Amino acid sequence: MKYLRSILFVFTALLLANAAQAQSTNVTASVAFDFVVADHAYPAGDYAVKSISDSGVPILIRNKDEAERGVALSIPCSSVKPSSTTKLVFHHMGGQYFLYQVWTEGNTTGREFPMSKTEIQLARNSQPEIVIVAANLTR
């Protein structure tokens, strides 16, 4: 009986560690256009997008020279198939780009950012164009 409990304990610990890791986001990308996240504008440049906590909810967005940085809240999103690449997904509407989701290769879960006020207003009148920017997974 103790042996069975030990196996269950190890199995549960592995599952929890795997779940915590799946929530974590840590990617870099070169974004060739200005964009908005949660009503905060960012200029084009090289960016790191990183979870601040194990929950993955607050995400730090900062450019390479750290002149631009901000924190945005995120929610989990999922897909039936694992993501084939690590990527940032943007909505393009009204000449503006809005960071929509972050995906890491091999995962069925990603992070999604709530729509900004401007994005909500633009979405009322037009369908967003999806723009994907390749990203690199960092540790």
What is the reported pTM? 0.81
CA–CA dist 58, 119 (Å, integer):
20
Collapse the DSSP code of 84 into the 3-class scheme (helix H, G, I; strand E, B; otherwise coil) and give the result: coil
Is residue 2 very low, low, confident or very high in pLDDT (cuts 50, 70, 90)?
A: very low
pLDDT at 15: 36
Residue 49 has pLDDT above 60, yes or no: yes
Q: What is the domain partition of the chain in residue ranges?
A: 2-137
The winner for highest mean pLDDT among 10-14, 49-53, 67-71, 129-133 is 129-133
Strand partners, 131: 90
